[in-house]
Amino acid sequence: MTEPQISVSTTDSGQLQEGASVVRQVNQALKSVLIGQDEVVEQVLIALLAGGHVLLEGVPGLGKTLLVRALAKTFGGGFARIQFTPDLMPSDITGHALYNMEARKFEVRKGPVFTNLLLADEINRAPAKTQAALLEVMQEHQVTIEGRSFTVGQPFMVLATQNPIEQEGTYPLPEAELDRFMFKLRMDYPAQDDEVELVRRVTDVVRDQDYLAGLTALITPEGILQLQKQARMVTTDRQILDYAVRLVSATRDWRGISRGAGPRGSIGLVQAARAAALIQGRGFVLPDDIKRVAKPVLRHRIMLGAEMEIEGIRPDRLLEDILEQVDAPRP
C-alpha cells in the first residue's frame, strides 16, 4: 500500500525561532530544579503552549508541587494550590458571595482558581461534586458565582495530581472531567544518580533559603499567550489531520478496548502536536509530533476491557500497538 504524503510548510520566521529559544531556556531552567523528570517537564510545557490542562499521577513526594511553582516563577505568573480533601466544598475552589453588613450588599470573594497556574493536589481525594467545580473553568476559563461570570487569569492552566486509584480514600474522576485534561502524565521515581544529585542540591541549600531562589522570570504571561498564538498558527497538513483522526478512530474498535476516545482526543492530538513542533522551532507538524504526544493525550480517554484489566495490561501497551499498526503519512 502506498503511504500518503504530506506537504511541508517552509514558513519558518525569526519570531518562531525566538519563541522556541525562550521555551528551551524555560525547559532547561525547570530541569535544573526538577532533576530526573525531563520527559514530564517537556510534556507539561507542551500542554501549556497548547492551552491544555495536565493530570499528573504519582505517589507523594516526587516534586509535583515544585514543578508548578517553578513553572510559574519562570514566567512571572500567579500560582495557587488547593489541597483536595473529602470535606472540600465547591465554593472553596471557585469562591462565593458574602453579605457585607456595613455596605448592606453582597460581595464576591474569589477563590484560589483565579490565578495562572492552579495546582489541584490529590484531586481524587474529593468526591465528584467537588471535582466538578473545575469543569466550567477548565473549559471556558471563567467561573460563575451567584449568576455572574468572572474570567480567570490568562494564561490559565490546571495541573492536577492524583494518587494511584488503588490507594485508600480515593474517588475515580468523572469521565467528563477526565476528558478535559489534554494530558495524563505519570511521574515515576528518579533514577538513582538523579536522586543523589537532587538530594545533594536540596541539602546544600542554606537554611531558610528557597530552593527556587535561583530561578528568574524568562518570559512574561503575555509572552506565553503569544507563544500559544504561534502554536495555533503552526501549519497542519490535511494528511496529518487525517492521521490523528485515524489513530483515535482505531481506539474505538481495537481488541481489548471497551471504550475508545472521542473527538476531543483528535483535537488534543493536533493541538499538542502543534505545540511540540513549535518547541522544535518548526512551523509545521510532522507525523512524529503526533506520535510523540499520542500516549499522554489518549491514555486517560480509553477504557480497557475486563480481560485486559485482569491481565494487568496498561493503556500504553495497546496505544503502542495502535501507533505501530496505523500507517503514518510520510513527508
181 and 267 Cβ atoms separated by less than 8 Å: no
61-75, 120-134, 137-151, 205-219, range with the lowest pLDDT = 205-219
97 and 136 Cβ atoms separated by less than 8 Å: no
Residue 33: predicted pLDDT? 87
Q: Which residues contact 101 (CB under 8 A, 6 or more apart)?
A: none
pLDDT, mean of residues 243-254: 96
Interval 11-70: pLDDT, tens: 456 778 888 899 999 999 999 888 889 999 999 999 999 999 999 988 777 788 888 889
| Torsion sign, CA atoms 210, 215, 221, 225 | negative
Cα(55)–Cα(182) distance, rounded to whole angstroms? 8
**Domains of the chain, start order:** 1-37+216-331 (1.10.8.80), 53-181 (3.40.50.300)
Cα(232)–Cα(274) distance, rounded to whole angstroms? 7
Residue 206: predicted pLDDT? 60
Cis peptide preceding 112, ω within 30 of 0? no
Spacing of C-alpha 60 from chain mean position: 18
56 and 158 Cβ atoms separated by less than 8 Å: no
Instruction: Give yes or no for residue 279 having a pLDDT over 90.
Output: yes
Interval 306-328: pLDDT, tens: 888 888 888 999 999 999 999 99
Q: Phi then psi for 28, rounded to 5 degrees?
A: -65, -40
Residue 272: predicted pLDDT? 97
Tell me the whole-structure pTM to 2 decimals.
Answer: 0.88
Alpha helices in 236-329 (DSSP H): 238-250, 263-279, 287-298, 306-311, 315-325
Residue 39: predicted pLDDT? 92
Residue 204: predicted pLDDT? 78
pLDDT, mean of residues 283-296: 96
pLDDT, mean of residues 80-100: 88
The secondary structure of residue 2, as a DSSP letter, is P
Interval 165-224: pLDDT, tens: 555 567 778 788 888 999 999 888 888 998 898 888 878 766 556 778 788 899 999 999
Please name which of 290, 294, 308 lies closest in space to residue 254, comparing C-alpha atoms: 308
Supply the mean pLDDT for the chain.
Answer: 87
Residue 169: predicted pLDDT? 60
80 and 119 Cβ atoms separated by less than 8 Å: yes
Residue 292: predicted pLDDT? 96
Residue 185: predicted pLDDT? 94
Q: Which residues contact 172 (CB under 8 A, 6 or more apart)?
A: 124, 165
Geometric angle at alpha carbon 293, from 268 and 74, rounded to 5°: 90
Please name which of 215, 157, 165 lies closest in space to residue 186, comparing C-alpha atoms: 165
Q: Give the C-alpha distances (Å, rounded to integers) separating 13 from 19, 171, 230, 236, 289.
A: 10, 47, 11, 16, 20
- Burial class of residue 279, CB neighbours in 10 A (0-12, 13-18, 19+): buried
- In terms of pLDDT, which residue wins out, 14 or 78? 78
For residue 83, what are the β-bridge partners? 121
